[in-house]
Amino acid sequence: MNKPIEGGRELRMSDITIYEVGPRDGLQNIEDFTPTSDKIDLINKLHNVGLRNIEIASFVHPKLVPNMADAEEVFTSTQNIGDFSVLVPNQRGFDRAKAVGAKKMNVFFSASDSFNMANLGKPMNDVLSDIDIMLQDSNKKDIRAYISCAFGCPIDGKPTENALHKAIQKADTFADTIVLCDTIGSAFPTLIKRTLQLTKKTDAEIALHLHHKTNKKDNMFPNIQAGLEWGITQFDSSIGGLGGCPFIPGSGSNLSTNDLVRFLDRKNYDTGLDIWKLDDIAGDYSDNIIPQTPMRLRVRNKIEEIFSTPISSKW
């Protein structure tokens, strides 16, 4: 459980976890299929520079997210390197991940029923019921729960405190970490602190998954600082700012691991990570895998496909 920092006391960087999501959240929306060998190489490089918490694949339907069609091979080829996590959208994905030996599972839902219907084909109560059944034999310490649109939804706007508090309380029953996601890039410092107050009675660790606003990268730093001041010790980020929400135009890219480390370095935190090595990875990957296109501009927006077609499940 995170606790607010009193008297302006700063956290030690050794207490802060950088949770790398580039191999999954960063790559899943690239239009051209990324070769499996390149994904494995990226995971190796990230691990070699000192990143230990990495989400490496998503066990979603391969026809819907073609770049994650090789999730089994990516996981089995890297499971001897580290204890990595995977994203599972439903029972089918969970069973596939479990079949290859995955233990650390990440699940997701939203406090917005409209977003759940558009993304998962069900309202929140039904999604949570499915998650309960899916995770009934899992160890809570291996589960991470993403709450999408925690700071704003493209359909419903800002979630009510009651709905968000209910989502947080429910996630606290099955997950060791709850990740509040700025899915549409609408968070700002005071909103972040107000939202985090809803987590004060949770047992789970609270993490932040932030997005850069489109063409306004510097807005991220006050949001990071707000999280640190409140007591957040875990931030999601993606190498080079790769990826972002594929369903929301203008939501911006994921928080860049490189920018996060630079910010913390400037604040005199010791990250234990070499920014030059991180920059080399970001540069090499952008040049070799996604030629001539900046990483944070390679997100496909599927808003019309997702929100205009009634579905039973996107996954």
Are the C-beta atoms of 273 and 51 separated by less than 8 Å?
A: yes
Q: State the Cα–Cα distance between residues 270 and 292, nearest whole angstrom.
A: 33
**Residue 126: Cβ-neighbour burial (10 angstroms; 0-12, 13-18, 19+):** middle
Q: State the Cα–Cα distance between residues 85 and 105, nearest whole angstrom.
A: 6
**Rg of the chain, C-alpha, whole Å:** 18
Greatest Cα pair distance, the chain, in angstroms, is: 52
**Residue 315: Cβ-neighbour burial (10 angstroms; 0-12, 13-18, 19+):** middle
Are the C-beta atoms of 58 and 68 separated by less than 8 Å?
A: yes
Strand-pair partners of 244: 253
Q: State the Cα–Cα distance between residues 295 and 282, nearest whole angstrom.
A: 8
**Pick the catalytic residue: 149, 153, 181, 245?**
245
Are the C-beta atoms of 26 and 239 separated by less than 8 Å?
A: yes
* Secondary structure, 3-state, 237-259: EEHHHCCECCCCCCCCEECEHHH
Give the residue from 208, 237, 132, 209 showing the smallest Cα distance to 175.
Answer: 132
Q: How far is CA 166 from the centre of its chain?
A: 20
Are the C-beta atoms of 209 and 257 separated by less than 8 Å?
A: no
- 274: region left, alpha or beta (phi > 0 left; psi from -120 to 50 alpha): beta
Question: Is residue 153 among the annotated active site residues?
Answer: no
**Catalytic residue positions, numbered:** 245
